[in-house]
Amino acid sequence: MRPEHPVVLITGASSGFGEAVARLLAANGFHLALGARRVERVRVLADELVKAHGIKVFAGAVDTRETASVNAFVEAAATALGGLHVLVANAGLASGTFKLWETPDEDLEAMLRTNVEGVVKTIRAGLPHVRKAGWGHVFFIGSTAGHQPYEGGSVYCASKFGVKAMAQTLRLEVNGEQIRVTSVDPGMAETEFSNVRMKDEAKARAVYQGVKPLAAFDVAECVRWCLMLPDHVNIDEILVKCTDQASVHKVHRRA
């Protein structure tokens, strides 16, 4: 049965979508477990949300690429909050815009280890707690890049096609349990994503030049809506783009 105040674990809560999901769900009375590598940011956010909403928040350092780090974070969160109900496997990144044959090992590994392995490790550690609770929801954060490949995105797209496959697989595997599985797949959204990808402020800004992109809050709202629906309703996938983006390759830009 749905608890009055479900506990939501969010990876990548130090920025962007993860932070926005934390803010929106805190305002809706959910308890939170927030993790990222930049733990100071997460702690500041946690303090703010506790004060503003009187909810319980656990804040911890986690590197989702590392099994021991993920397991320690998830166990500490579940112990501190008395269990887990919802997992938001959000931590992820793109690194560079290389042609497939130019992709350096460092960028290849960063994307596959975070976007694919990190998601597996997070859900692998968190799912037993969700099962124990008997009610839950697992969110994957995919991308339009998991629906339509584009030049310079081969490994990132491969990782997000992988996320889509994992979401579809998990839904099959937990069928019969009260665990919903949703993939929220955004198009271009202005967060720290392009700064991380481009490693250059001006190049990151140029990605959104003349466009009104999605904001992190728009994506958080998708998560909130799926969570709030009645228990018998599972939204499998939300493909959400800003109005200026008709497809990966067609973006309207104002002068």
Q: Where do contacts with ligand 8X3 occur on this chain (CB under 6 A)?
A: 143-145, 153, 187-188, 248
CA distance 55 to 95: 35
Q: Which of 17, 139, 156, 208 is catalytic?
A: 156
CB of 19 to ligand 8X3, least distance (A): 17
Residue 154 makes contact with ligand NDP by CB under 6 A: no
Considering the complex, state which of residue 6 and residue 187 has its C-beta at the smaller distance from ligand 8X3: 187
Using the rule CB under 6 A, which residue among 6, 18, 126, 136 binds ligand NDP?
Answer: 18
- Tokens 């590598």, residue located: 37
CB of 53 to ligand 8X3, least distance (A): 29
CB of 170 to ligand NDP, least distance (A): 16
CA distance 93 to 193: 7
CA distances from 31 to 78, 83, 108 (A): 11, 10, 35
Residue 185 β-bridge partners: 239
The site for ligand NDP, by CB under 6 A, has a size of: 29
Residue 245 makes contact with ligand NDP by CB under 6 A: no
The contact mask relative to ligand NDP for 158-187 (x = CB under 6 A, - = no) is ----------------------------x-
Q: Which does 146 bind (CB under 5 to 8 A by kind): ligand 8X3, ligand NDP, none?
A: none
**208 is an active site residue:** no
Residue 34 β-bridge partners: 10, 59
Residues with Cβ within 8 Å of residue 198, at least 6 apart in sequence: 97, 204, 207
Residue 84 makes contact with ligand NDP by CB under 6 A: no
Beta strands in the chain (DSSP E): 7-11, 31-36, 57-61, 86-89, 136-141, 179-186, 237-240, 245-247, 250-251
- Tokens 């609770």, residue located: 133
Q: Contact 185/144 with Cβ under 8 angstroms?
A: yes
The contact mask relative to ligand NDP for 58-77 (x = CB under 6 A, - = no) is ----xxxx------------
* Three-state secondary structure call for residue 60: strand
What number of other Cβ atoms are within 10 A of residue 66's Cβ?
15
The contact mask relative to ligand NDP for 187-206 (x = CB under 6 A, - = no) is -xx-xxx--x----------
Given the rule CB under 6 A, which residues bind ligand NDP?
A: 11-12, 14-18, 36-38, 62-65, 90-93, 114, 118, 141, 143, 186, 188-189, 191-193, 196
Could you list the active site residues? 156
